[in-house]
Chain A
Amino acid sequence: MTENRAFGRILDRANRADPYPLYAELRKTPVTLQEDGSYVVSTYREIVALLHDPRISSDRRNLDESFAAREPGVSGQPPAFIALDPPDHDRLRRLAMRHFGPPGTPDRVESMRPELAAIVTGLIDALAGRERADLVETVAYPFPVTVICRLLGVPREDEPKFHGWSTEIVETIGPGEDDMAERQRRRDRATGALGDYLGDLADARLGDPGDDLLSGLLAGGGEQGGMSRAEVVTTATLLLVAGHETTVNLIANGMLTLLRHPETLERLRHEPDLVYGTVEELLRYEPPVHFPATRVALDDITVGDTTIPRGAPIVLALAAGNRDPDYVSAPERFDPCREANQHLGFGGGIHYCFGAPLARLETQVALGELARRLRNPRAVADPPPYRPSSSLRGPRRLVVDFDGVRPTR
């Protein structure tokens, strides 16, 4: 294996604003062994193959003993389905899906479109009279938080309560085994606290169910059986955190990309349908998740000329795969009309992002309205400051100047 040090530099916060040249360097070695013993896979075909490879586990308890932090967490909670394999993964995901999408409630997300548009309209209305705003603080963050709170049945006014735990969880995930034990402990504490909060909420909801997702999880799955209380809590924790921490980045990355491509921003004002292709292209070009949770090899797996040994951690560099010139032509070009875009923005295989339909809808609505209503928006600082996480990558702030706000339709 040739020496390829790009991955360490990608994790370095100093390179958060533009990791893409480093991804190009990383792709020169499709599979690299890191000093911490993990294997990083960075080319499109190889990533897709591993996402569909049943010899890959999402359950860290399958890691070789030499890796620390493989003991079950101190949070007292079982892993959520994102960190489980079939059949448990399939059962829990299916139960959660009953109240979110097909086959049980196929129109749940789509029916939220008017409500989502109203929320965004309200947030943009509040910018009236201003000529500068941080779009993360005013739109990209509050919007998905409001949506996931309503969907899940979490009081919106509790946001200050769960914000810290959620941030802690996001900042402790990501590749790197060396400091994993410490990060795992921090994350377990935050997960435990958030779980306690959601558990109390669930207990209260038991006697007084609503049409929210939390009530649905508690109600169980009919013939399929239901979730235990602990499973309801971990599932709700996952949905609450993943339900907004990623979408905020997709919207913020999206707006930043549009500010860098003013011709597309202008086209969006006149061609509202362009937003669908735009969002798919953003998921390829500036995805909110650069590394999904680390996977584990259940057996010796040969990828190209590298054999990944059983028990080793595997990091899938989705954002690198998305710009692999062997998979997509002109990968460094942002093209909202790109044909047959099979990006890795939501991963793939059985762990394909559960909330993808909601994230798509939210981003379509948010970017469409921002493009339509902000007059002549310009980024005040480019690049903007970024959040620390290399995995869930996005701007911490996105301050823009604009010449006022257009009225609603």
Chain B
Amino acid sequence: MRVVVDLTRCQGYGQCVFMAPEVFSMTGAEALAYDPEPSEAQRGHVLRAAAACPVQALHVDHVGAPEPDHEPGPHPAPDGDDFKRTGRIVIVGASLAGMRAAAVLRREGFAGSLTMIGDEPGEPYDRPPLSKQVLTGQVPARNTVLPPLAGLGAEWLCGVPATGLDLDRRRVRLADGRDIGFDRLLIATGTRARPWPDAAEAALDGVVTLRTAEDATRLRRRLTGAGRVLVIGAGFTGSEIASVCRHLGRPVTVAERGAAPLVGALGGVIGAVAADLQRAHGVDLRCGVSVTALEGDGGRLRRARLSDGDTIEVDLAVAALGAVRNVEWLEGSGLAAGPWGVACDAGCRVFDINGLVTDDVFAAGDVARLPHPVYEYQFLTLEHWGNAVAQAEVAAHNMVSGQTRRWPHLALPVFWSSQFGVDIKSVGVPTFADEVMITQGTVEEHRFVAVYGYRGRITAAVTFDQGMWLEFYQGLIEQAAPFPPEFRTVDRPEATSPVPAEVPDRVAASHGATVVVTGHDPAERRAWLVHRSR
């Protein structure tokens, strides 16, 4: 059987652990870990756990709301809606977002042909466990496969990447030369791990990245060794890997170019708390330090040279340098797709290269980039589990809905990470801030709520093991409540006041492509993408 917990909803009540202690566990006060594919013998326990979940975040054999198996959904295609009855939809990216979109399309009564294209062989799987319970060895990577969507009536083309898109002819080209026609297209190709930039060093045995289930299996095998591990980059993935290393008792050095772990996501103030958390768990954390060279002999990694002049002996280095968006296949397609992602409107309709919105091409998940009204209409890419699900639902709905029935994707970004026994959750955009303030709890105990403000309004909140309060702060963000918050709360620190959030300047992902504009007459003025690195 397959289990998915929507950890965006999970508030750490722990009721599932009581009911099924062999499937679910708490790794701290609030952080939940689980086996996504428990044995059939656990079915009774898991069903009891699902029934007991106070926020109904536990899904057995499906993701999101249960789908009808064969029946058309509650919105059967009206007789006049030819597209719903006979249209062709292609989803590129057999991922969480792609799967969710497919399910919603059927729920909304789409009865036409549905084709799913994915570059990885095998069934789509859930990624969050890969950097957690898979690396600790509690769960094999193959157990992270997402619940199958039986009865979807979709054609699956897995293990064949899409290599091109012809918008005029409405066809997706595949690597094996095939050509798939569509009436409407959903782009959900996601991201991949950014590789170590030096190709020769990256090829050393012992230099790895983590993004896929295969990566996780390989890294898990290597983590059973004894030597020091080097984690390059202390974002969420790097920090979670370091956490697993300490859980396994392995010595680990984390090299982070910025001033603190998680600084790119949470700013310097909360990053400093994360630094404290890492050091308290025995991580050799080096901030403001970059790795200048990875050296090996006989093709095996032996040591790393750091910008502070130090050299450390390591046989395993994990490059956790963030993500690269999978947009290469869209080159020349005429869509506004580049290293920054695939730009779309709030309804997930993709922009073409001129900034005109297309009618038949949609995007969702990690690859999509959309303007968010709450954040001054800035284009945001939200690489989070919850966003993949929510955005896919909006995209799928809009793909089969007329102009006046379309939904905007206005959900606030929410994400979580569990590391060093602490459950870190966030709502809003913490980097969209100039100040931050602790409103509840104690930083020293790694148990607190931090509220972020931008020009006098609340824009984000981050909790360390205080997830039950997050919804309250979400409400404040949605109401544009004033910052700093001045109301009295339980557990309010005695002396607390806003401090600069220390958000780093946004690093523009501009290298690789530039837009130029040509022509004079409105009918002939066009934008072009120029790829400088080629």
Give the interface of A toward B (CB within 8 A).
Answer: 49, 52-57, 85-87, 90, 94, 101-103, 106-107, 109-110, 273, 276-277, 279-280, 298-299, 310, 339-342, 346, 348-350, 352, 356-357, 360, 364
Contacts and interface: CB of A to CB of B under 8 A. Distances in A.
Contacts of B489: 54-55, 298-299
Contact of B488 (A103, A298, A341): A298
B25 A49 contact: no
A364 B228 CA distance: 50
7 contacts: A49-B471, A54-B439, A54-B449, A54-B469, A101-B18, A276-B51, A346-B54
B52 A280 contact: yes
Contacts of B51: 276-277, 279-280, 341
Interface in B1-55: 13-15, 17-22, 25-29, 44-45, 47-48, 51-52, 54-55
B377 to A, nearest CB: 28
A357 B15 contact: yes
A102 B471 contact: no
B491 A102 contact: no
B148 interface: no
A342 B6 CA distance: 15
A102 B27 CA distance: 9
Interface string B481-499: 0000001111100000000
Contacts of A53: 472
A346 to B, nearest CB: 7
Interface string B361-393: 000000000000000000000000000000000
A362 to B, nearest CB: 13
Nearest to B466: A86
Given A110-B21, A298-B490, 5 more contacts: A53-B472, A102-B25, A107-B21, A276-B48, A352-B54
A364 B27 CA distance: 28
Nearest to A358: B18
A397 B6 CA distance: 42
B468 A110 contact: no
Contact of A103 (B26, B44, B442, B475): B26
B19 A110 contact: yes
B18 A102 contact: yes
A364 B442 CA distance: 39
A106 B52 contact: no
A94 B441 CA distance: 15
B56 interface: yes
Given A102-B18, A106-B26, A273-B47, A87 B487 contact: no
A357 B491 contact: no
Nearest to B442: A87
A53 to B, nearest CB: 5
Nearest to B18: A357
A106 B17 contact: yes
A364 B18 CA distance: 14
B52 A52 contact: no
- 9 tightest A-B CB contacts, nearest first: A357-B18, A54-B489, A85-B490, A86-B491, A103-B26, A107-B21, A102-B17, A106-B21, A102-B26
A106 B18 contact: yes
B25 A103 contact: yes
B490 A341 contact: no
A348 B472 contact: no
A106 B25 contact: yes
Contacts of B22: 107
A44 to B, nearest CB: 14
B512 interface: no
B66 interface: yes
B490 A54 contact: yes
B475 A101 contact: no
B437 to A, nearest CB: 14
A221 to B, nearest CB: 12
Contact of B487 (A86, A299, A339, A356): A299
A103 B29 contact: yes
A356 B28 CA distance: 20
B66 A339 contact: yes
B440 interface: yes
Contacts of A346: 54
Contacts of A109: 18
Interface in B174-209: none
A347 B520 CA distance: 66
Contact of B29 (A52, A94, A279): A94
Nearest to A88: B491
B54 A348 contact: yes
Given A103-B27, A273-B44, A280-B51, A110 B18 contact: yes
B471 A52 contact: yes
A285 to B, nearest CB: 15
Nearest to B52: A360
A179 B426 CA distance: 44
A101 B51 CA distance: 18
Given A54-B472, A106-B17, A106-B18, A340 B56 contact: yes
Nearest to B22: A107
A339 B66 CA distance: 9
B468 A102 contact: no
Interface in B450-496: 468-469, 471-472, 475, 487-491
Contacts of B471: 49, 52
Given A54-B472, A103-B27, A299 B488 contact: yes
A308 to B, nearest CB: 12
A85 B492 CA distance: 11
Contact of B490 (A57, A107, A339, A360): A57
Contact of A85 (B21, B28, B48, B491): B491
A341 B51 CA distance: 8
Contacts of B449: 54
Contacts of B66: 339
B373 to A, nearest CB: 23
A102 B441 CA distance: 22
Given A110-B21, A346-B54, A54 B491 contact: yes
A55 B20 CA distance: 34
Q: Which of B22, B45, B449, B490: most chain A Cβ within 10 A?
A: B490
A102 B488 contact: no
Given A86-B440, A298-B490, A349-B468, A342 B18 contact: no
